[in-house]
Every structure is written in structure tokens, then in C-alpha cells.
Amino acid sequence: AQSVAQPEDQVNVAEGNPLTVKCTYSVSGNPYLFWYVQYPNRGLQFLLKYITGDNLVKGSYGFEAEFNKSQTSFHLKKPSALVSDSALYFCAVRELDTGYSTLTFGKGTMLLVSP
Amino acid sequence: GAVVSQHPSRVICKSGTSVKIECRSLDFQATTMFWYRQFPKKSLMLMATSNEGSKATYEQGVEKDKFLINHASLTLSTLTVTSAHPEDSSFYICSAREGSWADTQYFGPGTRLTVL
């Protein structure tokens, strides 16, 4: 079975400061990891994904995520937060090796960036 | 990135009626489409997975006779909520994947269903 944990319901950060949204995962084999962002009353927008290769993945809107196999983590980061980054962020995982498994989502972390 | 549209964005209906929600992949052919349900301040719950031309695979606990899914073409999937009741009120989001299981899933903007 696969699972995703986002330990923080909410993250607060001041505009201009760096932000981190945490995610840890559990899969039987190799993970295929995603971050999505959801604005109010909207669907999910794809930010970035990790399959293989460089552990630091760069995505949309200046976001990046670092894959850490030993810690089974895939934390989302941004060097300088914007007020417009305030939204709900979801981490998701799929097992890479089976090919037919579905995405499992974390419960989401609300990011609030204050001016 | 790829674009997925949903229609309508918002629908209000009376209890006992049926509602159809359309999901379209606008700039790619979606071999696989997914339907999710999201409750307020909650994560997404996968309802079913459908492959073009095949019957949908429903997740445990999802009534297939109540939530009818049709994936008749590579760009269109529909979800019909039959005999809707107030407890069916929710935010429904579709997602589409182009071909390979390795492809990214892209999500539609969602449909807010309110059953009176």
C-alpha cells in the first residue's frame, strides 16, 4: 500500500521569506512523486514531479522540491514567498514500478503568506 | 501544461434529479480519466478510473449505479449523478492522463454540485 503524510495542516510565512511544505511518503517500490496546488473553488494545478535523476526538481512559479530517499521525503520549497502563493498544496505519490497504481494524495497543507 | 476543462463549473439541482458533468482534455488525448470528490478542507477521494472505450473501475464504497461514468472518446468523459440527494453535494474534480502510466495527471477546474 502507498501513503502520503503532510504533517502540517497550515504553514504561515511572511512575504519574502523562504517557505517549506513538508511531505513524506510510503510505497513498496520506487516512488513517482508530485506536488499540486489548489486555489479556492478550483481544480488542482500541477507544480512539479520527480521520477528519477537529480534529487532537486524545479517546477512552476519558482517552486522546487527535494527528493530524499533515505528520509522518504519530498518537501516543497521556495526561496522567497509571495502573497499570491497562498493556497492549498497537495503532495501525491504513485508507485513507479507497477505502472497501474493510482495517485495517493496527502491531506493537503494550507499555505498562508502574509504581506 | 495540458488543459482539462469541466462543465458546468457550478450546478444546483433538486433532490431526485440527475446531473451530468462533462470533462474534456483540450489539447491532448486522454487514455485514462479519473473522477474525484473533495469535501470541504479535505483531500481528494478517488471515485473511479476510466479508460477510453472500457467500463470504469470504481473504488470501494462508490456506488456505480449512482455515479455513472462514460468515457466514450479520448477527449471526453462524463459523470452522471443519478437521483441526486443532498448528501451528494460536493466538489467533483476530473483528471486526465495522456497515455503512458508515467505521464502526468492534469486536473480540471472542478464542479460544485449543490442538491437542494
Min CA distance, B17 vs chain A (Å)? 24
B83 backbone φψ class: left, alpha, beta (φ>0; ψ -120 to 50): left
| pLDDT value for B101 | 64
Check CB contact under 8 Å for A102 and B102: no
Q: How many CA atoms lie within 13 A of B87 on its CB side?
A: 1
Check CB contact under 8 Å for A43 and B102: no
The string of pLDDT tens digits covering residues B55-80 is 899 999 999 999 999 988 889 999 99
| pLDDT value for B41 | 72
Instruction: Give the separation between CA B1 and CA B31, rounded to whole angstroms.
Output: 17
Q: Name every residue whose Cβ is closer than 8 Å to that of residue B111 and which is 6 or more positions away in sequence.
A: B6, B7, B8, B9, B10, B11, B21, B91, B92, B93
Whether the Cβ atoms of residue B47 and residue B37 lie closer than 8 Å to each other: yes
The string of pLDDT tens digits covering residues A96-108 is 776 556 888 999 9
| pLDDT value for A100 | 59
> What is the average pLDDT value for chain A, to the nearest integer?
92
B19 versus A31: the higher-pLDDT residue is: B19
Check CB contact under 8 Å for A46 and B93: no
**Mutate: best of B101, B111, B112, partner A, most A CBs <10 A:** B101
Instruction: Give the separation between CA A82 and CA A17, rounded to whole angstroms.
Output: 9
User: Which chain B residues are within 8 Å of A32, Cβ to Cβ?
Assistant: 102
pLDDT over threshold 80, residue B115: yes
Whether the Cβ atoms of residue A93 and residue A31 lie closer than 8 Å to each other: yes
Min CA distance, B92 vs chain A (Å)? 9
| pLDDT value for A84 | 95
User: Chain B window 1-60: which residues touch A at a Cβ cutoff of 8 Å?
Assistant: 1, 4, 6, 34, 41-44, 46, 49
User: Which chain A residues are within 8 Å of B107, Cβ to Cβ?
Assistant: 36, 43-46
- Give the mean pLDDT of B23-52: 89
The string of pLDDT tens digits covering residues B20-33 is 999 999 988 888 89
Min CA distance, A32 vs chain B (Å)? 8
pLDDT over threshold 70, residue B11: yes
| pLDDT value for A101 | 66
Min CA distance, A71 vs chain B (Å)? 23
> What is the average pLDDT value for chain B, to the nearest integer?
91
- Give the mean pLDDT of B39-58: 86
